[in-house]
């Protein structure tokens, strides 16, 4: 079984992606490869952040790896929080604080359209590849559901009447931004 490092310390993401890989690859975490430093995310695009993290792991650990960055882009907020989604309410990176700030920012807006976008950068044998996934939807007016993480309790994907946090992980992964990007990554790896 091939090994592939997912350049993240986010256990929720690792669990979600491990389920998507369905045992086809042995997924390694940063901890598994001995990387204990916080990876920088100081680029101004999702693509730039995913590239920065994957390149760092490849350069410093010589491990085939991929990294992602995800942003919630809200129409009424001119694309915010976007690349700052994880730290929208401050450096503490609190999901609750981020959601509360988002809901407060949208109080005076009727347009609640938004999209989740994930960019994945893969470093495989010193070659770089990028994959993207996008899901459109709307922002709920209040928290709904207790599954998932991040903005899942307030994001209702297009064509559905439940938030990601009200869906099972299988339902969410089948339609989510990260699920789409991961499927493109997996299809690419299978063709190698």
pLDDT of 88 strictly over 90: yes
Place of tokens 């990554």: 185
pLDDT of 23 strictly over 90: no
Residue 51, H or E segment: helix 46-61
Catalytic residue among 42, 68, 69, 161: 69
Q: Are 174 and 157 in contact (CB under 8 A)?
A: no
In this structure, CATH architecture of domain 2-190: Alpha-Beta Complex (3.90)
Using DSSP's 3-state secondary structure scheme, residue 21 falls into: helix
Q: Exposure pattern of 73-87 as b/e (b: 16+ CB <10 Å)?
A: bbbbbeebbbbebbe
What integer pLDDT is reported at residue 67 of this predicted model?
A: 96
Catalytic: 69?
yes
Taking the C-alpha atoms of residue 27 and residue 44, their distance in angstroms, rounded to an integer, is 28
The pTM for the full model equals 0.90
Taking the C-alpha atoms of residue 18 and residue 29, their distance in angstroms, rounded to an integer, is 11
Taking the C-alpha atoms of residue 137 and residue 114, their distance in angstroms, rounded to an integer, is 5
CA dist 188 → 11, 25, 68, 130 (Å)? 24, 13, 16, 10
pLDDT of 78 strictly over 80: yes
Q: Are 163 and 114 in contact (CB under 8 A)?
A: no
Using one digit for the tens of pLDDT, what is the confidence trace for 126-155? 899 999 999 999 999 999 999 989 999 999
């Amino acid at each position: 079984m091939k090994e592939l490092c997912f350049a993240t310390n986010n256990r929720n993401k690792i669990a979600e992606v491990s389920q998507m890989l369905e045992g086809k690859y042995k997924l390694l975490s940063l901890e598994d490869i001995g990387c204990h430093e916080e990876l920088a995310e100081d680029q101004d695009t999702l693509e730039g952040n995913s590239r920065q993290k994957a390149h760092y792991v490849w350069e410093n650990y010589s491990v085939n790896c991929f990294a992602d960055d995800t942003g919630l882009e809200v129409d009424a907020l001119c694309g915010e929080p976007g690349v700052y989604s994880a730290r929208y309410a401050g450096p503490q990176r609190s999901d609750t604080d981020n959601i509360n700030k988002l809901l407060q920012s949208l109080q005076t807006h009727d347009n609640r359209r938004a999209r989740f976008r994930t960019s994945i950068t893969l470093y495989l044998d010193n070659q770089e590849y990028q994959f993207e996934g996008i899901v459109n939807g709307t922002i709920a007016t209040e928290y709904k559901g207790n599954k998932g993480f991040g903005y899942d309790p307030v994001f209702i994907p297009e064509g559905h009447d439940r938030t990601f946090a009200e869906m099972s992980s299988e339902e969410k992964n089948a339609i989510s931004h990260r699920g789409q990007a991961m499927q493109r990554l997996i299809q690419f790896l299978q063709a190698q």
